[in-house]
Amino acid sequence: MELPASFVDYTRSLLGEEEYEKLAVALQQEPPVSIRFNNEKWKMQDEGLSAVHSPFGRVPWSSEGVYLDERLTFTFDPLFHAGCFYVQEASSMFVEQALRQYIKEPAIMLDLCAAPGGKSTHARSVLPEGSLLVANEVIRNRSQVLAENLAKWGHPDVVVTNNDPADFAALPSFFDVILTDVPCSGEGMFRKDPVAIEEWTPENVEICWQRQRRIIADIWPCLKPGGILIYSTCTFNTKEDEENVRWIQQEFGAELLPLEVREEWNITGNLLKDESAGTVHWEDIPVYHFFPHKTKGEGFFLAVLRKPCIETDENETKKAWETINSQKSAISKSTIARAAKKKGKHAGKGVPSVAKELMDVARSWVRDIGNYSLLTDAETVYAFPNARLEELEALRQKLKVIQSGVSVGEVKGRDLVPAHALALCPVLLRDGAFVVEDISYEQAIAYLRKEAIVLPATVARGFVLLTYRGVPLGFVKNIGNRANNLYPQEWRIRSGYLPEELRIL
């Protein structure tokens, strides 16, 4: 690996000769592989999560993160596709500490730059019960990947949006927590991503820190007074890290919050020099750097800031919320008919009676249906928590929502076909709603390739939930001589071969 000369000079000056040489050596080494388990999925297995954890070293700042001895063939592991674990860089799991230490009550959280979904799935696992997560991605195709990963993770209290940060200005004082894992120069990813090295220039660093400030300025009004902003990058330099944090403090009066960390984690503190004294203050300011020569992970930076709990103009605040509330539409059963009419496909074809029958079917599939409302979007029925309906409607009025709650089923003619997302949501899928058939590894791979599946003659006809090692994979429609594969076409494994050496959990 040949590092850019400007990067070498700057980082050597930042860290000192000895520390820089250690970093340079670490950047030539293979990066560690880490994953984070989805405890809700492992509850369905006989061996449980503790048995799976035991062979691996734990990521010390994450309750469900582990290091692997080698990279697995993730594409060919059915448990990966079932959402039993997420492949996530270990240092970035440190976000968990900020959430656990400062978010104690149900909260509305925004993950602003969320794709592909590592931090969003992690946040959804550690937020207090009753919280709502809004995961946003500005780039359309990346937002689809984000939606897929969150669907696999299997939580109903999630909304996925596809918006520019400036669009959120329409929701003043809406969020209790905002995570801004801002686009950066990518210095911390050098050993994992050669493209990051090729694209790095001092000019790009300048562009990045200015873009990061614009993002913060756009999103800051959306944070409630007293709310928490988590600022993170995957860089080493102070321009994108400490200097931006200092700017947030000075510009918005934010309070920088400390985190309790253990000495053995080897996290590095503030690197910003006191220009007058020419020294480095390592402990004065609570910011957190991860360097690959000191911590087992890639480069990462995080700071936690609190918005001032100042008294705002009551009339201004009242007016802002009146604007939001005035645009909330009533959510009721009539939503189904309105969606069908908007689509136009079923106009004049007895929509109300058909829709009611299908909604009854959908209700029979959902656990604890009294806690959820069944809504429709075109021909899709989805479940969303009753407790967060007002927030959902505000989001739908102001933003481009591409996924909310969990899809329960899709209307196909006079039938309701169970949605794949329902199979992957253990807290929503009612026990006994479907016939269940556990399949072999070979059958699981065939299913994930969207190939036809043949089930034993004893399996009842109709919709069948396939499981692998007790964990739901998805649905088929058994018609006797074969089972029609209902796995999403766009999610299928496209490779037609199996590697010679399989390494799976």
CA–chain centroid gap for 366, Å, is 23
C-alpha pair distances (Å), 239 with each of 202, 207, 300, 301: 11, 11, 14, 12
Cα separation of 149 and 156, whole Å?
A: 13
Q: Is 328 annotated as a binding residue?
A: no
Task: Tell whether 117 is in a known binding site.
Answer: yes
| DSSP letter assigned to residue 429 | B
| Sheet strand arrangement including 33-37 | 57-58, 65-68, 33-37, 85-87
Buried residues in 366-392 as b, exposed as e (16+ CB within 10 A): bbeeeebbbbbbebbbbbbbeebbebb
d(C-alpha 353, C-alpha 350), whole Å:
6
Query: Catalytic residue among 184, 234, 309, 425, which?
Result: 234
115 annotated to a ligand binding site: yes
CA 7 from chain centre, in angstroms, equals 31
Q: 438 labelled as ligand-binding?
A: no
**Which residues fall within 8 angstroms of residue 101, CB to CB, at 6 or more apart?**
259, 260
Comparing CA positions, the residue from 222, 131, 146 lying closest to residue 180 is 222
Helix/strand/coil percent split, the chain, to 5: 40, 25, 40
Query: Quick one: tokens of 369?
Result: 């249906």
Q: Is 137 annotated as belonging to a binding site?
A: yes
Residues 6+ apart with CB under 8 A from 108: 131, 132, 134, 174, 175, 176, 177, 391
Diameter of the chain measured on Cα atoms: 81
Distance CA 57, CA 391 (A): 40
Q: Which element (helix H / strand E) includes 375?
A: strand 372-377
Yes or no: say if 269 and 282 are a contact pair by the CB < 8 Å rule. Answer: yes
181 belongs to an annotated ligand binding site = yes
Which residues on adjacent β-strands are paired with residue 57?
A: 67
Coil, strand or helix: which one is 193? coil
222 a catalytic residue: no
Say if residues 306 and 228 touch (Cβ distance below 8 Å): yes
Q: Look at residues 222, 260, 243 and name the one whose alpha carbon lies nearest to residue 111.
A: 222
> Per the annotation, does 432 bind a ligand?
no
* Residues carrying an active site annotation: 234
Residues annotated within the binding site for S-adenosyl-L-methionine are 113-119, 137, 164, 181
Residues annotated within the binding site are 113-119, 137, 164, 181
